[in-house]
Structure 1
Amino acid sequence: MFNEHESYTKPVWDGGLIVAETFWPIHQPGESGEIAVTLLNDIAKVIEVRRADRSEVFTEGRDFAVRDGKLVIPEGSRIRVMAWEEYNTAEPDNFGFRCSTGGYLLFGEGNVFHRLQYEITYEAASNTFDGHYRPEASPLLTKSRAILDSHARPLKLAFFGDSITYGCNASGLGAGVPPFMPVYPKLASEELERRGYAIHYRNPSVGGKNAHWGKNVAAKAVGEFAPDLCVIAFGMNDASGKRPPEDFIGDIKSIIDTVRAGNPAAEFIL
């Protein structure tokens, strides 16, 4: 069920049916036994709970229950709850990141997290999304919307960032496991095309890079493309590299200036 990509691009603020929300149950320090998982919304009815790689489907009443809108995982469930000591280890495991409170947080590329995560599809009892998006009042991206709605030409859409935007953890690229989803930039582009819009897509992202690298290659990577809408998605490697915020901000502004040199009307998502 839910194999169509469009089911994964439904806005989270719409409520109703929530498809394949991921969760990774981890006990807090000193905890064991039953655990209650808080999701984006309270649960009215569970449709399905399964492993993120689609290898196993779980049974309500045996592997999980719903209590006060939360997903409850009892002792003895086939849904594995990770011990805190596995998640926050004394010594780094593979690519573990040092934690500010001590130890190292588990990390890995490829299918590491797909093997540990689960998905739940459910009917929401309430919509607790507290973001700031208000479609009825949003004045954002008016130029890009005008190009799409005119159908006069394709929207030139660029994504420029690090390994996340390249797709190193996408199940269809870096992980190579079901459900074999495309990278999120391609998924967004496909959704716009599904809605009848013409898209000219580019994604020159490279894993392990930061905004300073982006600044230095921006002219060739995205400037020559002259996108109408450019998603700039650096930051993870800047943060882990402890780059000064003012340097990061300056690099992002430089990328914006480079894109605008080729298309003064360009719009941006950061």
Structure 2
Amino acid sequence: MKIRPLFILLIFYVLSSFRDKEQTWVAIGDSITYLNDHLNETGDRVKKGYLTRVTDKLPNLRYINQGHNGWTSAGIAQNIDKLGLVKADVYSIFLGTNDWWQGRPIGDLDDYKNDVGNKTVFGSFRIIIDAIRKLNPKARIILITPMQRNDFVYIADSKNSAHGSYRKHAGQSLEDVANAVITIAEHEGIAAVDLYHHPVLTIKNLVNFKRLKDPKTGEYVNFVYPGSAEIPFNPNTDEYPYPVESINLTYDGLHPSDAGNTIIANEIVSVFKKIGLAPKWQNYLKLTDYMTPFWKADTIVDESILPLENGAEINASLLFEARKIVSVKSSDHHETFVEGRDWNYSKDKINIIRGSKIPFLKKEDLVFMRDKAGLSMRGKAADTFVLYSENEYFSSRQLAVTYIPKKGQRWQGPAIPYAVGILPSTIGKLAGQDSLHIVFYGNSIEKGYNTSGLAGEAPYMPTWPELTVYKLRDYYSNSYISYVNTSVSGKLAQWGVDSVNDYVNIYHPDLVIIGFGMNDGSANVTPVQFREQIQKIINSVSAKNPKTEFIVIAPMLPNPNAVQSGFQHQYKNELLKLAGPGVALADMTTVHQELLKHKSYQDMTGNNVNHPNDYLARWYAQVICNLLLQ
């Protein structure tokens, strides 16, 4: 069969346009937004701000914090061209509380419509929204009203204080500002998150009490709202009025606590979902389930099998012997099959009952002597062909099995060590919540070919590099992890050497994950040559970025019956020679070899030749993450 790689590439280009891509969110705001990335300024009273909590729930979203401590909408508008705003997919504007306290005129909708300038709150918002639309006319914008506030006393300086929104300031109420924000959103036809009128974020719920001196006795008493509003506070002589026990939805009367940030995040997530920012895969799978290592999980979720007919039996093997089968579903999760009608289980096998709707393949379908147009590729043995397809042919015949393994079942494959001694800089940045930029550099496997999300098919699982980043962000509560995937289908390590400046060095990475090998083995690049080429990539990056660290992947194996089967299995031992300080090995070769002792190649492939399906792609992500997670 003559292969048409350009045609295949075009198929994946078209399919990738339907996938869930990472989206950028620019959050414009004041101290409530700013503090998300400056938690030490909360006196360590907050563990996680609302931005991080939103991206925890929507991991396909990466935020850029444009919170400015103490700023009004006028300050943002005045400096809008100096803030370094970037083109993004979505912008949120969470301002107004400082406008109220600084007594800025609110104005009216005519100020907004007539673009009167930076004289009123309405005018300032017009400047900000116009600037956003100039950056990206197609961007989605949401407005967030200020929340109610109790008496504010700054934790680092008690002289910095302000009364709550229970009374007007400069003749204006905070509710007037909130209503102005809502009016602008309604006029523009954009979404608004109304925190001011939230039924839980009320003044009485913001703090449990305010500890003040009783004017009659001089003794400290825990006064609750509204009584606390009538008791004077002297910053020169009185203790800080909000001890830890007073924290409820704010920790100082104004700034949200963890509980408050959770409410804010939930409201924003709800709106983001309504405007289409939630990834499709969230309707089908949970990231925590998919990224719990198979070798540690109490429940194996969505292990992939493809039933094969061999004589009188139609079955497929599970990795572990099961104590209980929880579910057997089609790989797209659209159909659940019934025990006793469609399948039964014995030992480590799912047996398909004749007459069931469950699809299967025959053993003789896998290797044959005549070319099948659109469904075959030249085999390794002379005059043979192997079953092959880059579309949903295999995924539509695979099943997703969730089960509880019997006690005592152990993963017999390689241990995946924590690489803290090998990658100290990377792990230090992760744990320290510092910025970490990752480059994924390889071929079609690293690009995510045959992953359901890239193919635009349910369950829309992200590619394994995306799963890796999402897991790292979640585990370390570190939203400063960014990445770029410069992998190109069909490429060999020598291309990686030749292209390293344009595809890696220009990004100044902290960590490079190198994943060549599949195509090199097919092209009969010797193990020594392959190791030397990977070394050259490392040397080239290190020369430009001396602090960069590396994870080098020993690749999964090709179908042994396919013409692509070559030297791939020999690369691991050569790559081990590169491992040492700053260079860790992710051994997918041995992992795949162990899996193949228990499962068929067809259980774990997307094209039956050299690409993983969702299940095996999860192994890639889990192995990489285990190097970086304690």
Q: Aligned to 2:342, what secondary structure does the other structure show? A: coil
2:361 is paired with a residue whose SS is: coil
Equivalent residue number for residue 86 of structure 1: 365
State the partner residue of 1:63.
342
The equivalent residue for 1:159 is 440
**Judging changes above 3 Å, is the alpha-carbon distance between structure 1 residues 163 and 136 closer, same or farther for their aligned structure 2 residues?**
closer
- Give the whole-Å Cα distance in 2 for the aligned partners of 1:157 and 1:259: 13
* Counterparts in 2 of 1:115 and 1:69: CA distance versus 1, 3 Å: closer
Measure how far apart 1:103 and its partner are. Answer: 2.0
Match for residue 532 of structure 2 among 225, 232, 250: 250
Q: Which residue of 2 aligns with 1:168?
A: 449
Change (3 A) 1:77 1:53: same
C-alpha contact 2:493 2:516 (8 A) present in aligned 1: yes
Return the alpha-carbon distance in structure 1 between the equivalents of residues 534 and 414 of structure 2. Answer: 23
Relative distance call for 1:102 and 1:49 in structure 2 (3 A) is farther
User: What is the rounded CA distance, in whole Å, between the counterparts of 1:146 and 1:75 in structure 2?
Assistant: 55
| 1:265 aligned residue | 547
1:187 to 458, 464, 467: 467
Which residue is 1:122 aligned to?
Answer: 403
Moved more, 44-53 or 76-85: 76-85
8 Å contact from structure 1 (residues 170, 182) kept in 2: yes
Question: In the TM superposition, what whole-angstrom CA distance separates every residue of 1:178-209 from its partner, at most 9, and x where no partner exists?
Answer: 01112110111111112212311010011111
1:163/1:208 contact within 8 Å kept: yes
- The whole-number CA distance in structure 2 between the counterparts of 1:148 and 1:176 is 31
SS of match in other structure, 1:177: coil
- Structure 1 residues 112 and 256, CA, compared in 2 at 3 Å: closer, same or farther? farther
Is the 2:308–2:316 Cα contact (8 Å) retained in structure 1?
A: no
Residues 331 and 395 of structure 2 are in contact (CA less than 8 Å); yes or no, is this contact kept in structure 1?
Answer: yes
* Residues 1:257 and 1:3: Cα distance change in structure 2 (over 3 Å): same
Distance 1:91 1:255, change over 3 A: farther
**One-letter amino acid matched to 2:311:** S
Q: Does 1:75 align with 2:357?
A: no
Change (3 A) 1:127 1:219: farther
How is 1:1-270 mapped onto 2 (pairs within 5 angstroms)?
3-27=285-309, 31-93=310-372, 94=374, 96-100=377-381, 103-125=384-406, 126-133=408-415, 139-151=421-433, 153-173=434-454, 175-195=455-475, 196-197=477-478, 198-269=480-551, 270=553
Seen in structure 2, the aligned counterparts of structure 1 residues 206 and 134 have a Cα distance that, compared at 3 Å, is closer
How much does 1:36 deviate?
4.1
1:25 CA drift (Å): 2.0
CA contact (8 A) 2:442 2:496 kept: yes
Alpha-carbon distance in 1 for matches of 2:327, 2:361: 21
Distance 1:163 1:134, change over 3 A: closer
Q: Is the 8 A contact 1:43 1:71 kept in 2?
A: no
CA–CA distance in 1 between the matches of 2:360 and 2:487? Answer: 34
Moved more, 32-41 or 159-168: 32-41
CA deviations on 1:113-142 (whole Å, 9 max, x unpaired) are: 212211101111143312332557974433
Aligned partner letter, 2:384? G
Worse overlay, 158-167 or 100-109: 100-109
Q: Is the 8 A contact 2:327 2:403 kept in 1?
A: yes
Asked if the contact 1:53–1:177 (Cα under 8 Å) also holds between the matched residues in 2, the reply is yes
Larger Rg: 2
> Whose helix proportion is higher, 1 or 2?
2
Q: How far off is 1:11 after superposition? A: 0.8
For structure 1, list consecutive stretches of 5 or more residues without a partner in the other structure: none
Distance 1:136 1:249 in 2: 23
Structure 2: distance between partners of 1:181 and 1:136:
26
RMSD: 2.2
Partners of 1:6 and 1:101 in 2: CA distance: 45
SS of structure 2 residue aligned to 1:41: coil
Rounded to whole Å, the distance in 2 between the matches of 1:248 and 1:71 is 40
Q: Distance in 1 between matches of 2:423 and 2:521?
A: 27
Which AA in structure 2 matches 1:113?
F
Matched residues in 1 for 2:540 and 2:307: separation?
A: 43
Distance 2:498 2:418 in 1: 38
Say how many residue pairs are matched. Answer: 265
Asked if the contact 1:33/1:75 (under 8 Å) is kept, the reply is no
How far off its partner does 1:12 sit? 1.2
Q: CA deviation at 1:43?
A: 0.8
Divergent runs of 4+, >6 A: none
Q: Describe the shift of the 1:141–1:44 C-alpha distance in structure 2 as closer, same or farther (beyond 3 A).
A: farther
In structure 2, distance between residues paired with 1:218 and 1:233 = 13
Change over 3 Å in CA distance of 1:188–1:226 after alignment to 2? same
Q: Given that residues 284 and 459 in structure 2 are in contact (C-alpha distance below 8 angstroms), is that contact kept between their aligned partners in structure 1? A: no
- Give the CA deviation at 1:9: 0.9
Question: Which has the larger displacement, 48-57 or 203-212?
Answer: 48-57
Gap change, CA 1:201 and 1:46, over 3 Å in 2: same
Letter in 2 for 1:158: V
